[in-house]
Structure 1
Amino acid sequence: MYEGVVQDLIDELGRLPGVGPKSAQRIAFHLLQADPVDVRRLADVLIEVKDKVKFCSICFNVAEDDQCRICRDPRRDPSVLCVVEEYKDVVAIERTREFRGRYHVLGGAISPIDGIGPEQLHIRELLTRLGDGAVTEVILATDPNLEGEATATYLTRMLGPLGLRVTRLASGLPVGGDLEYADEVTLGRAFVGRQAAT
């Protein structure tokens, strides 16, 4: 335990996701030794991010304007909508350069244990977006875990009556992985999603 503001800094840094007590302490002491100009720049950027960044009024991705750059881009295919849990998932998919449609960020996944049900997510807004008939395919790109699967199952049931093509991202063995280390669910999915050898 340190005194005063140093301990306050360590405590606040420790509240960040993925930052444990030792990492928080290391970051705090790095900031104490850093050039004051660098620390001020970091503080200014943190304040600016909270002041300027908001969520897109259409897809709920992060944006500095009312709409994000993806929703504003006329080159994106409006007939294909990729539904993801968090805005960081948009970044991951964009890095692949394989998807040219639009997105819808749910803001999480259904998790009864954490008190998150469909009403806490942007599902109502998703259904509103689909009401105009422009979207013909919805890709469910939720995480391959219990909560992501529950969310995808719920959405599949909700979207079924709308007559849309509802697809799920393929899942299976990672490139460079060993079969002996794959869990049963991943290996099972790899068998179900197998493709013809080329």
Structure 2
Amino acid sequence: MAAITGPEIERLIQLLSKLPGLGPRSARRAVLQLIQKKETLLSPLAQAMADAVEKACICSTCGNADTQDPCTICRDRTRDPLTICVVEDVGDLWALERAGAHKGRYHVLGGVLSALDGVGPDDLNIGALIERVTKDSVKEVILAMNATVDGQTTAHYITDRLEGLDVSISRLAHGVPVGGELDYLDDGTLAAAMKSRRPF
């Protein structure tokens, strides 16, 4: 098929089509919209992306994505430092924040244990979690793993690692559907699941 646009536009379409939820057709429509509104959309987007490239980083404390280290959440003195909510990835942290469901700190694992994918305990941020719980005298760890087999396996592993420490362990209520992922749930479901958490 012959190219219908210049290489710069084709490259933009190809890059956008690699984003979750965007295929080649959606990317093409998005690029067309950006070009048609070059001054109000494309230029500001390009500047915002350049700023993000320069400033975006991962928090060395919790693993959140931000433009400062420690991140905005870790710096917030109004949050309960004795409660840590453990999530699989940054998308899950952001989902809980959107719902306003948690007023403590977070810890991002960076994935889940998965024998099929070759992901073991050393590939995740579990050691740093144990260190935080011990060093900061954390009183409660909330396991907010996705309701998948790998998520629950990871939750059990963390529970075993925390055994013997003076910390309460809870998990989200089963209002989160089996096989569901936090990032796709509505705010009300997330808030209700957080409020009705129970010991693990």
What TM-score do you get using the length of structure 2 for normalisation?
0.78
- Which is worse superposed, 34-43 or 71-80? 34-43
Cα shift at 1:36: 4.0
Of the three residues 89, 92, 96, the one matched with 1:89 is 92
Report the counterpart of residue 168 of structure 1 in structure 2: 171
CA distance in 2 between counterparts of 1:29 and 1:42 reads: 14
**Counterpart mapping for 1:171-190 below 5 A:** 171-172=174-175
Q: Relative contact order, CA 8 A, sep 6+: which one is greater? A: 2
CA distance in 1 between counterparts of 2:81 and 2:157 reads: 23
Moved over 6 A (4+): none
Report the counterpart of residue 34 of structure 2 in structure 1: 31
The DSSP-based 3-state class of the residue aligned with 2:141 is strand
Of the three residues 30, 44, 48, the one matched with 1:45 is 48
- Largest Rg, 1 or 2: 1
Read off the aligned partner of 1:170 and give its amino acid letter: A
CA distance in 2 between counterparts of 1:73 and 1:84 reads: 19
The DSSP-based 3-state class of the residue aligned with 2:173 is coil
Cα shift at 1:30: 1.9
What TM-score do you get using the length of structure 1 for normalisation?
0.79
Q: How many residues align?
A: 175
CA distance in 2 between counterparts of 1:112 and 1:55 reads: 26
**Counterpart mapping for 1:35-184 below 5 A:** 35-36=38-39, 38-132=41-135, 134-172=137-175
Cα shift at 1:31: 2.4
Cα shift at 1:37: 5.3
Report the counterpart of residue 21 of structure 2 in structure 1: 18
- Which is worse superposed, 112-121 or 38-47? 112-121
CA distance in 2 between counterparts of 1:13 and 1:99 reads: 32
